[in-house]
A and B are shown apart, each in its own frame.
Chain A
Amino acid sequence: MEAVVKKRIKQVIKGDQDAFGEIVELYKNSIYQLCYRMLGNRHEAEDIAQEAFIRAFINIKSFNQDLKFSTWLFRIATNLCIDRMRKKKPDYYLDAEVSGTEGLTMYSQIPSNSPLPESELESLELHDTVQKEILKLPDKYRAAIVLKYIEELSLNEISEILDLPLGTVKTRIHRGREALRQQLRYV
C-alpha cells in the first residue's frame, strides 16, 4: 500500500489533484475513526478529519518521502484533534452526555459474575459507556490509547506520531489503561 501511496504523492506534487482522491479513499476510515474516538462527535470528527487531509495536501511537498505516509497523516490528524479538544469549553460535551442515564445504571445492576449480555442493544450501551470513558481521559492519554487499541498501531509508530520518546508513550498508555480500568471495572 505504501508503494501505491508514494506513487500517488509524486503525482499530486506534479499537479495531479485527482491522485489525492485515491489517498483520501485509502485513509478516510482510519482517520475519521481516530477523530471520532478522540472528539466523541460525528460532526466534529468529519470536520477535523477533512481538515487533516486538506493540511496534508497543502503541505505535501514538505512530507519526507522516506517516511511512512500514514504516520505523517496520523500525526497531522492527532494534533488537530488535540488542538480542538483544548479549544473546547472544558467538559461541555461530557456534561451533555452525562445527563443521559443509559448504559451505566443498567450494567451496574448486573452481578459481576453473570455472563456479558449479548443482545445488540446492550452491546451498544456497552460501547457507549466505553466511548464516554475514553472521552474522559486527558488528551495526552486519550491519543495514546486510541492509537494503540482502536487503530492498533505499534508503540514505535505511536511514538513517531506523537513525536515523543517510547518511554513517554508507554507511561501514557499505562496511565490511560489504569484510568480506564478504574472507570470500567464494575461494568
Chain B
Amino acid sequence: MCPEQIIELMHDFLDEEMNSQNEMVLREHLLSCKECEAIFNELKKTIAFVKSTPSIKAPANFTVDVMNRLPKEKKKVGIQR
C-alpha cells in the first residue's frame, strides 16, 4: 500500500500547485509503482471527461423571460397610490 502522501502529491499536481522537488518525488514513484500510475492516469482521464462535456447555451428566450419577470417597481407604486 502506497503512502497517502503520494495521492496528495497527485492532487497537488492536478491543481497545478507543485514544486519541482515534489514533482520529482511523484514521478519517481510513478515509475516504480504500477498501481499509483494507474490511479494517476485515471484521475487525468476523469478530468478530461468532465472538461469534454459540451458547453450548453441558455434557451433563446432567456433574456426576454428574465426581463419580463423583473419587478416593475415604478408602475406598481403608481397603481398602489
Residues of B35-79 at the interface with A, using a CB-CB cut-off of 8 Å, are 39, 42-43, 45-47, 49-59, 62-63, 65-67, 69-71, 74
Q: Does residue A67 face the partner (Cβ distance < 8 Å to B)?
A: no
Query: Could you tell me how many residues of chain B have their Cβ less than 8 Å away from some Cβ of chain A?
Result: 29
A49 touches B50 (CB 8 A): no
A29 touches B50 (CB 8 A): no
A127 touches B53 (CB 8 A): yes
B52 touches A130 (CB 8 A): yes
Give A135 to B71 CA distance when docked, in angstroms. Answer: 33
Q: How many Cβ-Cβ contacts under 8 Å join chain A to chain B?
A: 98
Which A residue's beta carbon lies closest to that of B45?
A: A184
Query: Do A24 and B54 form a contact, CB below 8 Å, given A177-B43, A181-B42?
Result: no
Give A32 to B15 CA distance when docked, in angstroms. Answer: 26
A54 touches B62 (CB 8 A): no
Chain B residues at the A interface, C-beta cutoff of 8 Å: 11, 14-15, 39, 42-43, 45-47, 49-59, 62-63, 65-67, 69-71, 74
Q: A29-B58, A32-B56, A50-B65 are in contact. List 14 more A-B contacts (CB 8 A).
A: A17-B67, A20-B70, A21-B63, A21-B67, A28-B58, A32-B57, A33-B56, A33-B57, A33-B58, A46-B59, A57-B70, A150-B53, A170-B15, A184-B49
